[in-house]
Amino acid sequence: MTRTYTPWFLLAVALALAAIYLFPLYWMYITSLKGGSEMFANPPTFWPRDPNPGVYGEVWARRTMPVYLWNSVLIASGVTAITVVLGTGCAYVLARYRNVWVDVGLFCVLMLQVLPASVMVTPLFVGFNQVGLLNYPRTAVVLAAAAKAMPFFVVLVRATFMSVPRELEEAALVDGNSRVGAFFSIVLPLARNGILVCAILTFMSAFGEYIYSKSIIQSPSLQPASVGLSGFLGPNSSDWSSIMAYSAIYVTPILAAFVILQRRIVSGLTSGALK
Amino acid sequence: MLKALSSLRDGVGFDILLVGAALVFLMALAGAPLIYNVLMSFQQVDMFTLGSLIRPFAGFDNYVAVVQQPEFWLVTRNTLIFVFGSMAGQFVLGFALALFFAQKFPGSATIRGLFLVSWVMPGLVVGAIWSWILAGDFGVLNVILRALGIIDANIFWKSDPAFSIWAVIIANIWLGLAFNMLLLSVGLAAIPRDLYEAAELDGANAFQRFWTITLPMMRSTIGAVLSLGLIGTLQQFDLFPALTEGGPANTSNVAGYWSWQLSFQLYDFAKGATVSVMMFLLVLFASVVYVRSTRHEVRG
């Protein structure tokens, strides 16, 4: 708001702030490339003297990362599918009307989101045990995590639907479309971008799902990458270059996707969803 | 029958179907567990009766037992420190960044977007990275703080009882800062520019403009950010197993993690449920605030 600074000065400050903020990510990649003695050098080196990219291949094989990552992809896809299919319709109805029932519905949806996962995990565990779902632990985790992700999705997509002009839908109804027809041929295409952005975000957060998988899935061959990582973490962990290499392999795809889609995600959120 | 079918295609039935499917799903997988938890907190539960609904009634015994646990007050204190420390850090820094990126300069939107990568990072990975940064002997944070002359001796962030909760708070602030910034940026962008111009003509300085225009205009956004922050912080789980596991001696344990420990490490499901019900009351308060703040939203 003050106009005494030049834009270029502000740009420099912004880059410095971003560098400070993103330092942990830089440190993850750098640490993963350091060898044994350099790892614990004091003072630490901010650029590896002798980069050792071999650790990536070693961690990939030794920690059976392909299995873990595949499970993460499966779980995240399942969560996203359920959330999008059930959540989109719900968001649409909650956006279309404003009355007491919508307030009640919205309140329910929000209340059900605010339960911490650590609270829900015991009853879900017992419930899944009763209906035999524990024999299909990944499916169980998908269901549990979808229930966790859906409220946030509904809130965001509801805002997207609110920005779709109602007149267009009414015109379609006057032209003889049914409600179903108008929904699929007019409203959904107009809200497509917002839904897509929210679906991507849902996928990204489900990709890091941890507590349900940790509590419900026993067999290592069905666990996602987050549980695989927790296997060699803890207050006394020491194999830091492997941990960082594992982390890097785990998050680089999400980070790359995010950076590529960044503009669309941010503009999708700021133009509609977070108003 | 035919009428009901056509209402499904053309009338209220369509709306009810869409909302109903989602609500039934949520009720089954989120509502029922909540009720079950409340129920369980009033019952005697052991490994053998875990699967059955009908169990001996325990009244408030579980609540009394939880409060009498030696670590109860420590965990309560930690939870409050964790919640308020994290929220204060996320909000103040997020607001400062949002104000900064509201200035016009080349690349501001792109650089602001880069901050959001922390938002999509898995919590466990964030915990792992900070665990290494905060390590007492070889952690880079100690090295930087020493080089800047802020501290003389290494701080053992994760194992010193005085600092362990702050280790988790630092990681949590980093994790949640970007989302706060984004929400606040959106709120800032919605304030009409001419208000500031008018105030500037009237001779208001930057601080007065912030105090009399920015803050009042953003009241509902701030309410939403703070209540979402409270909810998000109480839900935080992933950082604890990665950083301190609640230790040393529960000095970094909070209600959410403690509840999970009671259930899944000590198999004392009744106490775990009791702690979670206590926590839920706090969360309930936050969501009432949030729903009230959406009441004033504008239709686009």
Whether B26 sits inside 8 A of A13 (CB atoms) is no
What is the predicted ipTM? 0.87
Neighbour tally for A19: CB within 10 Å: 11
- Tens digits of residue pLDDT in A224-259: 999 988 888 766 667 888 899 999 999 999 999 988
Whole-number pLDDT of residue B298: 46
Q: Is A47 on the interface with B (CB under 8 A)?
A: no
Q: Identify from A3, A114, A223 which residue to disrupt to test chain B contact, counting B C-beta atoms within 10 A and taking the largest count.
A: A114
Q: How many CA atoms lie within 13 A of B216 on its CB side?
A: 8
**A260-264, B21-25, B258-262: segment of lowest average pLDDT:** A260-264
* pTM, rounded to two decimals: 0.88
pLDDT-derived band at B9 (thresholds 50, 70, 90) equals: low
Residues of chain B in contact with residue A36, where contact means CB-CB under 8 angstroms, are none
pLDDT at A171 over 90: no
Whether B120 sits inside 8 A of A124 (CB atoms) is no
pLDDT-derived band at B299 (thresholds 50, 70, 90) equals: very low
- Tens digits of residue pLDDT in B85-99: 999 999 999 999 999
Q: What 3-state DSSP class applies to A47? A: coil
pLDDT-derived band at B175 (thresholds 50, 70, 90) equals: very high
Contacts for A84 with CB less than 8 Å, ≥ 6 apart? A153, A195, A199, A202
Question: Average pLDDT, stretch B23-31?
Answer: 88
The shortest CB-CB distance from A118 to any of B109, B147, B257 is to B257
The shortest CB-CB distance from A7 to any of B104, B115, B186 is to B104
pLDDT-derived band at B73 (thresholds 50, 70, 90) equals: very high
Whether B279 sits inside 8 A of A116 (CB atoms) is yes
The shortest CB-CB distance from A106 to any of B116, B209, B291 is to B291
CA-closest candidate to residue A256, choices A23, A25, A24: A25
Question: Average pLDDT, stretch A197-225?
Answer: 90
What token pair was written down for B76?
């309560």
Whether B242 sits inside 8 A of A266 (CB atoms) is no
Q: Identify from B49, B62, B95, B125 which residue to disrupt to test chain A contact, counting A C-beta atoms within 10 A and taking the largest count.
A: B125
Whether B244 sits inside 8 A of A92 (CB atoms) is no
What mean pLDDT value characterizes chain A? 85
Q: Which of residues 22-41 of B touch A (CB under 8 A)?
A: 22-23, 25-27, 29-34, 36-37, 40
Alpha carbon distance A100, A106 (integer Å): 10
pLDDT at A272 over 60: no
pLDDT at A16 over 70: yes
- Tens digits of residue pLDDT in B124-136: 999 999 999 998 8
Q: Which residue has the higher pLDDT, B88 or B226?
A: B88
**What angle in degrees, to the nearest 10, is found between the helix axes of B164-189 and B123-133?**
120
Q: Is A36 on the interface with B (CB under 8 A)?
A: no
How distant is the Cα of A41 from the closest Cα of chain B, in angstroms?
A: 8
Question: Average pLDDT, stretch A41-51?
Answer: 79
pLDDT at B161 over 90: no
Q: Which of residues 122-161 of A touch B (CB under 8 A)?
A: 122-124, 126-127, 129-130, 143-144, 146-148, 150-151, 154
User: In this structure, are residues A67 and A221 in contact, taking their beta carbons and an 8 Å threshold?
Assistant: yes
The shortest CB-CB distance from A254 to any of B120, B132, B242 is to B120
Whether A255 sits inside 8 A of B183 (CB atoms) is no
Q: Which residue of B has its CA nearest to A106?
A: B291
- Tens digits of residue pLDDT in B230-283: 888 888 888 998 888 887 888 889 988 998 888 888 888 888 889 988 888 877
Q: Which of residues 59-118 of A touch B (CB under 8 A)?
A: 82, 86-87, 89-90, 92-94, 96-97, 103, 105-118
- Tens digits of residue pLDDT in B37-66: 888 888 887 777 776 767 778 778 889 888
Q: Which of A55-59, A85-89, A171-175, A237-241 shows the highest mean pLDDT?
A: A85-89
Whole-number pLDDT of residue B300: 35
pLDDT-derived band at A19 (thresholds 50, 70, 90) equals: very high
What token pair was written down for B148?
């800047």
How distant is the Cα of B57 from the closest Cα of chain A, in angstroms?
A: 18
Q: Which residue of A has its CA nearest to B286?
A: A114
User: In this structure, are residues B168 and B229 in contact, taking their beta carbons and an 8 Å threshold?
Assistant: no
pLDDT-derived band at A274 (thresholds 50, 70, 90) equals: low
Whether B108 sits inside 8 A of A269 (CB atoms) is no
User: In this structure, are residues A144 and A214 in contact, taking their beta carbons and an 8 Å threshold?
Assistant: no
Q: Which residue of A has its CA nearest to B298?
A: A275
The shortest CB-CB distance from B120 to any of A87, A122, A205 is to A205
How distant is the Cα of B242 from the closest Cα of chain A, in angstroms?
A: 6
Whether B300 sits inside 8 A of A7 (CB atoms) is no
Contacts for B241 with CB less than 8 Å, ≥ 6 apart? A210, A214, A230, A233, A234, B124, B127, B257
Whole-number pLDDT of residue B89: 95
CA-closest candidate to residue B180, choices A246, A274, A123: A274
Q: Which residue has the higher pLDDT, A145 or A119?
A: A145
Whole-number pLDDT of residue B167: 92
Alpha carbon distance A275, B183 (integer Å): 8
Q: Which of residues 124-143 of B touch A (CB under 8 A)?
A: 124-133, 137-138, 140, 143
- Tens digits of residue pLDDT in A101-114: 887 787 777 777 77
Whether A115 sits inside 8 A of B287 (CB atoms) is no
The shortest CB-CB distance from B122 to any of A146, A162, A250 is to A250
pLDDT at A48 over 60: yes
- Tens digits of residue pLDDT in A140-166: 999 999 998 998 888 888 888 888 888
Q: Identify from A100, A109, A119 which residue to disrupt to test chain B contact, counting B C-beta atoms within 10 A and taking the largest count.
A: A119
